[in-house]
Structure 1
Amino acid sequence: MPPLGALGRFFPLSWAPHLCVLDDPGGASNLKSSGLCSGLFSLSQVNLCNTSSLLLQSLLEALSELKTFRLTSSHVSSEGLAHLTSGLSHCHHLEGLDLSNNQFGEEDAEVLMGVLEGMCQLKRLDLSHLPLSSSALAMLTQRLSHMTLLQSLRLSHNQIRNIGAQHLAAVLPGLPELRKIDLSGNGIGPDGGVRLAESLALCKHLEELMLGYNVLGNITALELAQRLPQHLRVLHLPSSGLSQEGALILSQALDGCPYVEEINLAENSLAREVPHFHQGLPLLKQIDLVSCEIDNHAAKPLAASLALCPALEEILLSWNLLGDEAAAELAQVLPQMSRLKRMDLEKNQITACGAWLLVEGLARGSGIQVIR
């Protein structure tokens, strides 16, 4: 096995603060004494060619107790991927694996799926921004069925489409510890969205749900509203093909949820059906309604709903159709928002008169730090 310094000459490595640095001349060559066996191994923006990948393989083979491995935003050759998967197969105690944003061919992605076999202790898996083919995804779902400890699954921007969503929906109920899932930007339509909503309802511990930049439509919103996870904290559905009907259904389902901290419905055609709350959300910290075609007609119910969310820190309403009437309504409730730190109203139709009303409202009690 090569000394640590040899590997550091081929590509830069970043480590957790308590671990040795590879390009440090005094760095330990003894892996066990370095503390690396129980820590984090992170690579980013490297060219994993044949020589460097052989060194990496050799190092990983000695790290059987490694907990977290990250290789991101890198170019990986076919041979390099083979060396990587061989090395990772010796890391039997991995809890975190991040291979996002790497460049390799679709056929190589199938090779990558092979390394997941036997990784039954994984708690965090990130395969975002990869060229996952339908066959690679089928292999992935087979591997996922054995990862019963998995808590976080990120597969965004892979274009898995409806068929991929249906494959995933079949295995998600078998992940009892799942708390976070990100399937944003995958070309999923209403059929796949409905199947996912049905499946995710069985994930009893789910806290963060990110399905934005898919064409889910109102039918998926209806299915989600009927099956919202009990402990939901984060719901991201930007640019999801929702209209006024979908927004109304979701807001009714979310109203009164005790744990929700973030809601993102940006870039949907909500118009007058902005979230209407009657009970409020006691822990809501951020709401994103950017570019939702919201106009003055929605201002009063919007302001009333925001007033029922005492923990709000960030309100994003830029690129809408709000004017001075909306500014006046918001100004009335701003003094109640003692935790508000940021309000974004950029690119609306508010004049100097409306801006002055907002300033007066803020002066009466808000601790806001940024307003646009």
Structure 2
Amino acid sequence: MEKESEQEKPEGGSSRKSPFSLFMNQLQGKKSSEKEGKSQSSLVSRLFKGSKPNPPKTDLKKEASELETTDSQPDNEMETEAGIKTQTETSSKTPTTSETDLGSNTAKIEQFLQKMGKKPNSRSIDLNNCGLTSTDIAELVALLPLLPDLEELDVSWNDLIGGALRPIMLQIHHISKLKILRLNNCRLTTDDVLALGEALKTTPDLEELNLSWNSNVGGNLRQIMQGMQEGSKVQILKFMDCDLTAEDAASIGQVLPLMQNLEVFDLSINRNIGCSLASIMQGLKNTPNLKVLKLHTCGLTRDSIQIVGAAFGYLPELRKLDLSGNKEAGGGFKDAAAHLAHLKQLQALDLHQCSLSEEDIASLTQVIPLLSSLQELDLSANKNVGGSSENLLSRLRFLPELATLVMHGCALGKDAFTALAEASMYLPALKILDLSWNKYVGGNLNLLLETLKLSAALQVLRLRSCSLVTEDMALLASVIQTGYLSKLQQLDLSYNDNISDEGWATFCQNVPFLKELTLLDISLRPANFRECGPWFGHLLNSLTKLPMLSELGIRRWRIPVPQEEDLEYFNRNHKRSIHFDYGGFQ
């Protein structure tokens, strides 16, 4: 996102000057204040490593004329050189007042950033989650005029500075090269928001604006959007959880035609705009470069989904579409799904928790095979997927690039799970498979046997609360032992309380074959507590053979005191850093 500035200031800072340069300055009658200004700029540049010097331009005709003049007067030249030598020696010993002041200012900048645990950078100030106070903001305000080349300013997740940001907004004109401004969760006040709207008029190069998790943005967005000018360079615009109103939605729609460079647009968790999307979608028709559209939990209804779908034909570059968390959208995909076919470049589709109806699923069944670029698909928490989705899931075989498939809580039945298992064998790029909260998987994991063998790229396998039984663990252990899951990094087997001690023992004896495993979770359900069996000794022995493991979830297992002590001292004895999540077992 960051681009190097097209023109940067020449490096200077030394008071020693060439005789010829000083002679020219004397002939031209230049003021010493101009030199001090250049010296100040160069010293700021030297403090940081963000800029490269460019040589100053020379007036060749004027220089040639002055050379002719000096050649005709050798006696004067000798006198001038003597004077220059004395002046140079004196200036090399005594720094100017401006240089002394600037040295103090640059020291203040460096000291402030070091106090925040940051390294000096002339183009980026990242104070995200630094616990800033209003006093810190006042100090930052005083330093901003000394950073004219600043391109990124991030003071997000500092919720104590709300109401103190207006002075920063008033200083924005000093950093007209600003490209990235992030003010997430700063508790912006109405006064802050109004000042921001005015400040944006002085940032013609702004490429990213993120005001997420600031509730006072809602109802005041019109003032902010007025700062967007014709030919806006903004590429990323995020207003997550800002309590946006229907009036805010209208304001966005009016300004979007000015933002033809927009690539990422996120309005998630604004529940009151679902019935006011017509203006926004009309505006998005003028953003042909849009690549990411997120409308998660925006109160979309059946009618809203149809309005969104009608805009897809104008978004040929869309890569990621998130319509999840809109529980009232069920039934709207019956007609809108057909418009998905326009999104030839779509790589990620998130429809989890959308209350998909049987008609929606039937429509998606026709469209899914046409999305050949799809890499991520999330259909989770849609109960009808499990009851009537055998045709839909069988079509997944036409998505050769699919790397992430998330279907937790889909109430998969026999036909649907069988169709999924058969289709998954044709997904060579699969890296993440999440089938959690589907009870039918338990006792039927053998249906996925060929998938587990053929998915050489699989890195994440989540089978949480799948009612797994001892036979499933024996099957999984056999697959692991033969090396088919050698790339696995995360394995979630939690909330499967029906597995016997023998099943856990078989698994724990074979888990060391997963050399790249970083996370393993075998926790029990919140309401269940259970004594560890002899298998726990096998697990402890396996820890020494899992070099990458950093997280072990064993919540609600009652661990014998000696073995609990072994866990406590494991990291120290083996110089490892494993987080043992076993709280709540008492």
TM-score by length of 1: 0.88
- Give the whole-Å Cα distance in 2 for the aligned partners of 1:20 and 1:167: 35
The letter of the residue matching 1:59 is Q
Q: Offset of 1:161 from its aligned partner? A: 4.1
Equivalent position of 1:199 in the other structure: 311
Q: Offset of 1:357 from its aligned partner? A: 1.4
Q: Offset of 1:265 from its aligned partner? A: 0.9
Q: Offset of 1:328 from its aligned partner? A: 0.7
Does 2:464 align with 1:352? no
Does 2:143 align with 1:30? no
Partner of 2:439, secondary structure, is coil
Q: Offset of 1:20 from its aligned partner? A: 6.0
Partner of 1:217, secondary structure, is coil
Q: Any residues of structure 2 matched to 1:190-269 within 5 Å, and which?
A: 190-214=302-326, 215-228=328-341, 229-255=343-369, 257-269=371-383
- Give the whole-Å Cα distance in 1 for the aligned partners of 2:467 and 2:302: 34
Which of 173, 188, 198 is equivalent to 2:300?
188
Q: Are the structure 2 counterparts of residues 62 and 15 from structure 1 closer, same or farther at C-alpha, using a change threshold of 3 Å?
A: farther
Q: Any residues of structure 2 matched to 1:93-242 within 5 Å, and which?
A: 93-104=205-216, 106-118=218-230, 120-214=232-326, 215-228=328-341, 229-242=343-356
The gaps in structure 2 that reach 5 residues or longer are 1-104, 128-135, 493-586
- Give the whole-Å Cα distance in 1 for the aligned partners of 2:275 and 2:206: 29
Partner of 1:263, secondary structure, is strand
Partner of 2:155, secondary structure, is strand
Partner of 1:125, secondary structure, is strand
The letter of the residue matching 2:348 is V
Does the Cα contact within 8 Å between 2:275 and 2:299 map onto a contact in 1? no
Q: Any residues of structure 2 matched to 1:8-47 within 5 Å, and which?
A: 19=123, 30-32=146-148, 35-36=149-150, 39-46=151-158, 47=160
- Give the whole-Å Cα distance in 2 for the aligned partners of 1:88 and 1:267: 41
Q: Offset of 1:325 from its aligned partner? A: 4.6
- Give the whole-Å Cα distance in 2 for the aligned partners of 1:276 and 1:79: 55
The structure whose residues are more often helix, as a share, is: 2
Partner of 1:235, secondary structure, is strand
- Give the whole-Å Cα distance in 2 for the aligned partners of 1:20 and 1:146: 27
Larger RCO, structures 1/2 (Cα 8 Å, 6+ apart): 1
Which of 482, 485, 488 is equivalent to 1:366?
485
Root-mean-square deviation (CA, aligned residues, Å) is 3.0
Does 2:151 align with 1:62? no
The letter of the residue matching 1:211 is L
Partner of 1:107, secondary structure, is coil
- Give the whole-Å Cα distance in 1 for the aligned partners of 2:481 and 2:313: 44
TM-score by length of 2: 0.57
Q: Any residues of structure 2 matched to 1:72-111 within 5 Å, and which?
A: 72-104=184-216, 106-111=218-223
Q: Offset of 1:141 from its aligned partner? A: 0.5
Moved more, 56-65 or 308-317: 56-65
The letter of the residue matching 1:30 is L
Q: Offset of 1:277 from its aligned partner? A: 2.3
Partner of 2:394, secondary structure, is coil
Q: Offset of 1:97 from its aligned partner? A: 0.8
Does the Cα contact within 8 Å between 2:368 and 2:396 map onto a contact in 1? no
- Give the whole-Å Cα distance in 1 for the aligned partners of 2:306 and 2:119: 41
Q: Are the structure 2 counterparts of residues 271 and 330 from structure 1 closer, same or farther at C-alpha, using a change threshold of 3 Å?
A: same
Q: Are the structure 2 counterparts of residues 343 and 60 from structure 1 closer, same or farther at C-alpha, using a change threshold of 3 Å?
A: same
Partner of 1:104, secondary structure, is helix
Does the Cα contact within 8 Å between 1:283 and 1:311 map onto a contact in 2? yes
The letter of the residue matching 1:340 is L
Partner of 1:145, secondary structure, is helix
Partner of 1:242, secondary structure, is coil
Q: Offset of 1:363 from its aligned partner? A: 3.7
The letter of the residue matching 2:245 is S
Equivalent position of 1:314 in the other structure: 432
Cα-to-partner distance string for 1:123-166 (whole Å, 9 max, x where unaligned): 11111111111112111110011111111110111124443222
Partner of 2:205, secondary structure, is coil
Q: Offset of 1:286 from its aligned partner? A: 0.6
- Give the whole-Å Cα distance in 2 for the aligned partners of 1:224 and 1:344: 28
Partner of 1:41, secondary structure, is strand
What is the aligned residue count? 363
Does 2:449 align with 1:331? yes
Q: Offset of 1:13 from its aligned partner? A: 10
Partner of 2:182, secondary structure, is strand
The gaps in structure 1 that reach 5 residues or longer are none
Is the radius of gyration larger for structure 1 or structure 2?
A: 2
Does the Cα contact within 8 Å between 1:113 and 1:139 map onto a contact in 2? yes
Does 2:406 align with 1:294? no
- Give the whole-Å Cα distance in 2 for the aligned partners of 1:131 and 1:153: 16
- Give the whole-Å Cα distance in 2 for the aligned partners of 1:329 and 1:283: 22
- Give the whole-Å Cα distance in 2 for the aligned partners of 1:337 and 1:93: 46
